């Protein structure tokens, strides 16, 4: 449960901490702008911790005891945008962070060629899946830990950060060793054990919304990680399941970008590759996403899109990417100057 205090009260926090400790559970205290929140966790099978006891300890200071919903990722908790640095990029600031690379790491040569080109085009974060959640068991499944090692070597060579999708807690150690930002996928959007594990480490998390997740549920997932103590979370819109799959793969939910920006202080990313599933939609969607307040973009780029082993139809070529970068720079400069002399 999470105890939301009415304000900041060191005495109430201490009283609750002592009580919870005595009952054999643990607390983690979070300082909001105007109030503290205390997350109570651990083995409470015997129901030793009672809301009525907590009430009598700090009743006047308690706003509410939460056993559902989310709070820590909300603007009510923290009014200003959260921003954080990973290497020399900053998420959640005016900087637009591009994370680009192949859907799947296929070979050393493929990833090296892509990293070389993209770093030359100013990209500081390389994406690349090593564990691919594919619909069919007969499709290419990714190179696994070998792929992560390869990507680490290549990212170090080009001075890039590496983001990759973790599909299962079993690989957490390897991801902590080789990956700078851990991505979680749409298909894992209700894997709560995975989110608890990610809360317990300090590697930043690129959290994808599920294709049929509500925004409220998505923010609960963000709270799973935040309440574990890992506050470096990037919320990622990657499209929802729509009615027009014969025309486009998913529907980019641009309303969610605005809504997440309104409801949460965490940085918002957009993945137009999976949201659209077709190359020709990607550039306009990137322009829309940045207008709506996304501060990072995750994009699939391949050295030879036609023969990509995964998600070929949505893969950008190097020249598509160059075109996008140019459009984005013209566009962001133009929108920055709106209203200025
Ligand atoms: C991916 O980014 O490679 C991916 C599988 O994305 P999603 O989980 O959004 O489908
Ligand atoms: Mn993909």
Ligand 2 centroid–CA 163 distance in Å is 13
Predicted confidence band at 340 (pLDDT cuts at 50, 70, 90)? low
Bridge partners (DSSP) of residue 104 are 129
For ligand 1, mutation pick of 168, 181, 238, 296 (most atoms within 8 Å of CB): 238
Q: Supply the residue whose CA is at minimum distance from atom 3 of ligand 1.
A: 103
- Please identify, by atom number, the ligand 1 atom nearest to the C-alpha of residue 298: 2
Residue 58: which pLDDT band, with cuts at 50, 70 and 90?
confident
Q: Are 176 and 201 in contact (CB under 8 A)?
A: yes
Closest ligand to residue 312's CA: 2
Q: Tell me the best of 99, 164, 187, 240 to mutate to test the pocket of ligand 1, counting ligand atoms within 8 Å of each CB and taking the most.
A: 187
Residues with CB under 6 A from ligand 1: 103, 129, 133, 165, 185-187, 208, 238, 271, 274
Ligand nearest to the CA of 208: 1
Report CA(310)–ligand 2 centroid distance (Å). Answer: 6
Which tens digits make up the pLDDT trace of 123-155? 999 999 999 999 999 999 999 999 999 999 999
* Span from the CA of 83 to the centroid of ligand 2 (angstroms): 26
What ligand 1 atom has the least distance to the C-alpha of 187? Answer: 8
Mean per-residue pLDDT for 189-197? Answer: 97
Q: What is the pLDDT of residues 302-325, one digit of tens each?
A: 999 999 999 999 999 999 999 999
Nearest atom in ligand 1 to 273's CA: 2
Residue with the nearest Cα to atom 5 of ligand 1?
A: 185
Task: Identify which ligand lies nearest to the alpha carbon of 250.
Answer: 1
CA of 225 to the centre of ligand 2 (A): 24
Which ligand 1 atom lies nearest to the CA of residue 132? 5
Is there a contact between 241 and 266 (Cβ–Cβ < 8 Å)?
no
Residue 196 pLDDT exceeds 70: yes
Q: What is the mean pLDDT of the chain?
A: 96
Task: Please state the atom number of ligand 1 nearest to the C-alpha of residue 186.
Answer: 8
pLDDT band at 335 (very low <50, low <70, confident <90, very high): low
User: Which residues, by Cβ under 5 Å, contact ligand 2, an ion?
Assistant: 103, 311
Q: How far apart are CA 274 and CA 267, in angstroms?
A: 19
Q: Which ligand 1 atom is nearest residue 271's CA?
A: 9
Task: Return the pLDDT at 40.
Answer: 97
Distances (CA, A) of 287 to 58, 126, 320: 49, 20, 14
Task: Tell me the mean pLDDT in the region 247-254.
Answer: 96
pLDDT of 61-77, one tens digit each? 999 999 999 999 999 99
pLDDT average, residue stretch 214-223: 98
Give the number of the atom of ligand 1 that is nearest the alpha carbon of residue 310: 3
Distance from the CA of 309 to the center of ligand 1, in angstroms?
A: 14
């Amino acid at each position: 449960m999470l105890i939301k205090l009415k304000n900041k009260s060191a005495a109430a926090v201490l009283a609750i901490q002592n009580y919870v400790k005595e009952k054999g559970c643990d607390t983690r205290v979070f300082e909001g702008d105007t109030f503290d929140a205390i997350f109570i966790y651990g083995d409470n099978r015997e129901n030793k911790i009672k809301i009525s006891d907590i009430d009598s300890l700090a009743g006047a200071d308690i706003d509410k005891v939460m056993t559902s919903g989310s709070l820590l990722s909300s603007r009510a908790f923290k009014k200003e945008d959260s921003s954080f640095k990973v290497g020399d990029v900053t998420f959640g600031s005016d900087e637009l962070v591009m994370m680009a690379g192949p859907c799947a790491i296929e070979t050393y040569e493929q990833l090296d060629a892509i990293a070389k080109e993209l770093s030359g085009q100013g990209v500081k974060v390389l994406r690349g899946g090593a564990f691919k959640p594919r619909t069919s068991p007969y499709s290419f499944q990714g190179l696994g830990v070998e792929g992560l090692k390869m990507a680490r070597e290549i990212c170090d060579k080009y001075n890039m950060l590496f983001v990759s999708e973790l599909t299962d807690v079993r690989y957490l150690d390897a991801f902590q060793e080789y990956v700078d930002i851990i991505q979680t996928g749409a298909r894992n959007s209700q894997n709560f054990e995975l989110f608890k594990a990610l809360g317990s480490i300090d590697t930043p998390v690129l959290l994808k919304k599920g294709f049929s997740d509500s925004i409220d549920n998505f923010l609960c997932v963000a709270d799973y990680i935040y309440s574990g103590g890992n506050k470096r979370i990037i919320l990622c819109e990657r499209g929802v399941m729509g009615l027009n799959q014969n025309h486009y793969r998913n529907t980019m939910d641009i309303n969610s970008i605005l809504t997440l920006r309104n409801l949460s202080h965490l940085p918002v990313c957009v993945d137009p590759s999976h949201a659209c599933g077709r190359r020709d939609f990607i550039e306009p969607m990137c322009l829309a996403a940045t207008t709506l307040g996304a501060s990072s973009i995750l994009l699939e780029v391949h050295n030879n899109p036609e023969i990509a082993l995964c998600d070929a139809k949505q893969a950008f070529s190097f020249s598509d990417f160059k075109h996008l970068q140019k459009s984005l720079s013209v566009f962001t400069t133009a929108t920055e100057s709106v209203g200025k002399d």
